[in-house]
Amino acid sequence: MANKRLALAGNPNCGKTTLFNSLTGATAHVGNWPGVTVEQRIGVYKDKKNGVEFDVIDLPGIYSLSPYTPEEVISRNYIIDEKPDVVINVVDGTNLERNLYMTTQILEMDVPVVVAVNMADVLDKRGLSIDLEALSKKLGVPVVAISALHQKGLKELIAAAEKATESPRTGTSILPYKTAIDQAVAVLGDEDEPVPSPLFHAIKLLEKDELEIEAHPKAYERVQEVVGKDGIDYEASIADERYKYLTALCKEVAKGRVEREAEKLTKSDKIDKVLTHRVFGILIAIVIMFLIFHLTFTEDLFYLGAMGVNFGDGYPGFITYVIGDEEIHMFEGLFWTDGGINGIGTICANFVVGICDAITAGVGAGLELAGAESWAIGFICDGCLAGVFAVIGFVPQILVLFAFLSILEDTGYMARVAFILDRIFRRFGVSGRAFIPMIMGFGCGIPAMMNTRTLASDKERTKTIRVIPFFTCGAKSEFLIMIAAAVGAVIAFPTDLFVFLIYGFGVVVAICAIIVMNITSQREEVPPFIMELPEYHNPQAKALGIHIWDKGKHFIKKAFTIILLSTIVVWFFSHFNWQWTYLEEADTANSILGGLGSLLSPLFVPLGFGKVQTGSYSWTYVVGSVEGIIAKENVTGVMESLAAGYGFETFAELVSASGITTAGLVAFAVFNMLTIPCFASVATAKSELKDVKTYHWTLIFWLGLSYGLACLAYITFEWVWTLAITLPLLAVAIFCLVKYNMYMNDKEKKAAAESAE
Ligand code: GDP
Ligand code: MG
């Protein structure tokens, strides 16, 4: 027998996903965002002792059951059509009045309901209490207090849910319009097919709900005929009545909250006055972001090195081993180098790199002792280990970066960043709603692209999906750090600043691209969006732990599967020529891959890493870039492995040998950052975009934009005087866009006026 189904419904941010995770042991993404959950997620709750088993469904966060956004429609249809055995309506106890609005609507459906008042821990801390019994009596359904985060009250909740499934429930309404509602229910009773949850539908018909009118057009006309005489504007007064009812109800059941609420509001407002200030808000955001990048990536934490403090030869390391006749100090430079003190991320990375290097050296020496052939040593050390360890070596820094970003997200600050961006870019037609999936793109583009389902129109989704890859994800930050280190070796540019600037560059490109698409190919009226700012939370160590663990696991799994496979394939084709003879070190340019790469390398001359600039090494940059389309970690893994094939220790050595200029390196970074993202996100984009044509244009867009901007970056950095040509051209382009926009606006206005006549 199939399990009973328990659906979680509630406003965004009330803790549904946290509850889902607590009940099912899953590790779904939790965030202090409006509307993070888009897809339904299904998990299993098991209590072996009592033999209870439920399928738990996490529905998207919704404010009400009126169809304003796709997520609301998903939840509403699920409850009505799929008829779960019980709905757990999760409400945020610290925000009872607003959260119960939706409860009054769920109660109108013919489904067993249990209300879970969440955040009991916060209520306790603030000295607030809710009279559960009185609330339950008023609503007519069981009410249980829980803390999803601290896993309190879950047993009671499940017991109440279990009991509720045992008897069917008919919808009830708190609205005072009994006669009108009864009349509407009667009308629906005459429909050809029986309507499930008639009370809910009847009220929706009174409210002139769009979806409802579509579904029951005849019934709608009848209802309006019957109730039209009442002279009541149900559309407006039903919402009013719900609020009136809830204000009275909350006064009765919530103790000590009225004055506290005001106090809390001013506190939250006070923080927001500074953090979302019109001018300082954006500056503070930039400073916070830079601090994070600095802490994570710097090698000069307190700028002591820059101020001329002498660090000698740096930290000497604490384990010494001898390989052959070479003495190696493991963990050399772990905490500080000759240039300064390392940031947190750098220390973690150095630690892991120290271990990886020792393993590689040990394995190499062991194989040599055992008398292995030189190609076998090369294959294992350069083909397998170099690539995999290059990817793993950067994981600590990415995890530290993620920890910081995750804290910002969990506290609710990221929602403020979206809010600030919304305020600036709304006038250019970029809706704030789209910034949420975009900022999620800093983590991984795939869930971010799926999150675009919360957007109102196809065009808005298209625009957002196209720019999500420009928000640098974890995998891309790997090769950015690698390139930053190489740039640092050439012109002593700080790593943290390089990574920060290129992240920022991605955001700017994304916003400009959206504005251009808004004016040209994806014109539309942007629907208004009022962003809810969630309350500030303390970051949760557990949520953070889950998040980091998930990310780390993901990277390591990828390193040992797709990345390992890619580097092995690359190693083979870069160490054998067409006659299948093995090529010794430094001869790899004559390999099969070397030949194929050289074939393509003229294409990259305008980008600064073609044959003209990098000579016989040009094929490595080509192979790295092409492999990046499979997975972005490959850019790192493959480049390091190819460098090892040449006998270099790091990518930075390959860079200086190949003679690529800093401008060329910047272009290499820009190209790989903006071009077609990995296979997995391309597949996601394909399934999320509305048709194949849009998908093909999206691929062309990514390829064209990355090529063009990388070329521009190369030319500008190599020959700064070219700005004298590009800037005026840019001005002309902007002028044309503005003119075109005005022309189209006029035309659209005229067309609208004509159709009105
Ligand atoms: P959803 O949008 O309804 O899925 O909400 P989430 O599960 O993503 O949670 C939103 C925020 O509330 C997160 O920051 C959670 O850590 C936090 N949260 C959830 N449940 C509790 C709880 O019981 N107590 C506290 N203090 N915070 C909670
Ligand atoms: Mg959720």
Give average pLDDT by consecutive 10-residue segment, the chain, 757 residues: 86 86 76 54 82 83 47 75 91 88 92 95 85 94 94 94 93 91 89 86 88 86 84 83 89 67 63 88 93 91 88 86 80 89 93 92 91 89 88 90 87 85 79 81 85 78 94 91 91 91 95 92 71 75 82 87 90 90 81 92 94 92 94 92 89 93 96 94 91 95 97 95 94 95 90 83
Q: Is the CB of 34 under 6 A from ligand 1?
A: no
Asked if residue 14 lies in contact with residue 118, where contact means CB atoms within 8 angstroms, the answer is yes
Q: Is the CB of 119 under 6 A from ligand 1?
A: yes
Nearest-atom number in ligand 1 for the CA of 118 is: 23
Structure-token pair, residue 73: 């429609």
Residues sharing a CB contact under 8 Å with residue 340, sequence separation 6 or more, in sequence order: 298, 299, 300, 301, 302, 303, 304, 305, 306, 309, 311
Give residue 32 CA to ligand 1 midpoint distance, Å: 7
Nearest-atom number in ligand 1 for the CA of 540 is: 16
Give residue 59 CA to ligand 2 midpoint distance, Å: 8
* Entry field: residues in the chain: 757
Nearest-atom number in ligand 1 for the CA of 152 is: 23
Q: What CA–CA distance (Å, rounded) separates 529 from 533?
A: 12
Give residue 624 CA to ligand 2 midpoint distance, Å: 38
Give residue 523 CA to ligand 1 midpoint distance, Å: 37
Give residue 44 CA to ligand 1 midpoint distance, Å: 20
Nearest-atom number in ligand 1 for the CA of 12 is: 2
Give residue 547 CA to ligand 1 midpoint distance, Å: 14
Kindly report the pTM of this predicted structure: 0.75
Q: Is the CB of 36 under 6 A from ligand 1?
A: yes
Q: Is the CB of 32 under 6 A from ligand 1?
A: yes
> Any idea which residue has 């692209």 for tokens?
449
Nearest residue (CA) to ligand 1, atom 25: 119
Residues sharing a CB contact under 8 Å with residue 205, sequence separation 6 or more, in sequence order: 184, 187, 188, 212, 213, 216, 219, 220, 223
| Nearest ligand atom owner, CA of 32 | 1
Nearest-atom number in ligand 1 for the CA of 36 is: 2
Question: What is the per-residue pLDDT across 101-122, written as a single tens digit (0 to 9) for each?
Answer: 889 999 999 999 999 999 999 8
- State the Cα angle at 621 between 377 and 296, rounded to 5°: 85
Nearest-atom number in ligand 1 for the CA of 411 is: 14
Give residue 30 CA to ligand 2 midpoint distance, Å: 6
Q: What CA–CA distance (Å, rounded) separates 135 from 77?
A: 27
Nearest residue (CA) to ligand 1, atom 12: 15
Q: Is the CB of 37 under 6 A from ligand 1?
A: yes
Give residue 37 CA to ligand 2 midpoint distance, Å: 4
Q: Is the CB of 116 under 6 A from ligand 1?
A: no
Nearest residue (CA) to ligand 1, atom 16: 540
Structure-token pair, residue 397: 């820094």
Helix or strand run (H / E) with residue 227: helix 217-227
Give residue 412 CA to ligand 2 midpoint distance, Å: 14
Q: Is the CB of 15 under 6 A from ligand 1?
A: yes
Q: Is the CB of 75 under 6 A from ligand 1?
A: no
To test the ligand 1 pocket, which listed residue (14, 17, 18) has its Cβ within 8 A of the most ligand atoms? 18
Q: What CA–CA distance (Å, rounded) separates 466 from 689?
A: 10
Enumerate helices (H) and strands (E) in the chain, giving the number of each. 33, 12
Q: Is the CB of 709 under 6 A from ligand 1?
A: no
pLDDT at site 66: 42
Q: Is the CB of 422 under 6 A from ligand 1?
A: no
| Nearest ligand atom owner, CA of 406 | 1
Nearest-atom number in ligand 1 for the CA of 146 is: 23
Q: Is the CB of 437 under 6 A from ligand 1?
A: no
Q: What CA–CA distance (Å, rounded) separates 593 from 575?
A: 8
Nearest-atom number in ligand 1 for the CA of 34 is: 2
Nearest residue (CA) to ligand 1, atom 8: 30
Give CA 536 to chain center in angstroms. 19
**DSSP SS3 for 118:** strand
Q: Is the CB of 99 under 6 A from ligand 1?
A: no
> Any idea which residue has 């400009």 for tokens?
512
Nearest residue (CA) to ligand 1, atom 18: 15
DSSP string, 478-496: HHHHHHHHHHHHHH---HH
> Any idea which residue has 């809910």 for tokens?
200
Give residue 159 CA to ligand 1 midpoint distance, Å: 22
Nearest residue (CA) to ligand 1, atom 9: 15
To test the ligand 1 pocket, which listed residue (58, 89, 149, 547) has its Cβ within 8 A of the most ligand atoms? 149
| Nearest ligand atom owner, CA of 90 | 1
The DSSP bridge partners found for residue 56 are 6, 43
Structure-token pair, residue 309: 């403090």
| Nearest ligand atom owner, CA of 9 | 1
Q: Is the CB of 31 under 6 A from ligand 1?
A: yes
Give residue 12 CA to ligand 1 midpoint distance, Å: 9
Question: What is the per-residue pLDDT across 602-632, written as a single tens digit (0 to 9) for each?
Answer: 999 999 999 999 989 999 999 999 999 999 9
CA distances from 43 to 31, 148, 363 (A): 19, 16, 43
Nearest residue (CA) to ligand 1, atom 6: 15
pLDDT at site 318: 86
Residue 305 zone, left/alpha/beta (φ > 0; ψ -120 to 50; rest): alpha
Q: Is the CB of 21 under 6 A from ligand 1?
A: no
Give residue 172 CA to ligand 1 midpoint distance, Å: 29
pLDDT at site 239: 84
Give CA 317 to chain center in angstroms. 38
- State the Cα angle at 742 between 738 and 744, rounded to 5°: 115
Residues sharing a CB contact under 8 Å with residue 681, sequence separation 6 or more, in sequence order: 445, 446, 449, 468, 469
